[in-house]
Amino acid sequence: MFFIIMAVSVLGISGSYVPVQQHITGISKELFSTYLIPFELLSVVLVTGIVGMFHTAEDDE
């Protein structure tokens, strides 16, 4: 069900998403201004996943 919903969502996107210019400064400005909250939430999710992986792989001896 999830994949069907995602496929419909992705196929419904219209337009061209090829960037006109690619500069590191532009990417960093967007990352740390417009996308700051998603960027930080993603880092928290990744760290939580890594800690969970180590906790799961821990020996119980």
**Would 34 be classed as within a structural domain?**
yes
Tell me what pLDDT residue 44 has: 95
**Would 10 be classed as within a structural domain?**
no
The answer on pLDDT for 11 being more than 80 is no
> Could you tell me the residue range of the domain that residue 30 belongs to?
23-61
Tokens of 13: 């996107």
Our count of domains for the chain comes to: 1
**Tens-place pLDDT, residues 17-60:** 666 667 888 888 888 888 889 889 999 999 999 999 999 998 76
What's the pTM value of the predicted model, to 2 decimals? 0.52
**Would 5 be classed as within a structural domain?**
no
**Would 37 be classed as within a structural domain?**
yes
Element (H, E) at 9: helix 2-11
List, in order, residues 6 or more apart from 32 with CB less than 8 Å away. 39
**Would 15 be classed as within a structural domain?**
no
**Would 13 be classed as within a structural domain?**
no
**Would 31 be classed as within a structural domain?**
yes
List, in order, residues 6 or more apart from 31 with CB less than 8 Å away. 39
**Would 2 be classed as within a structural domain?**
no
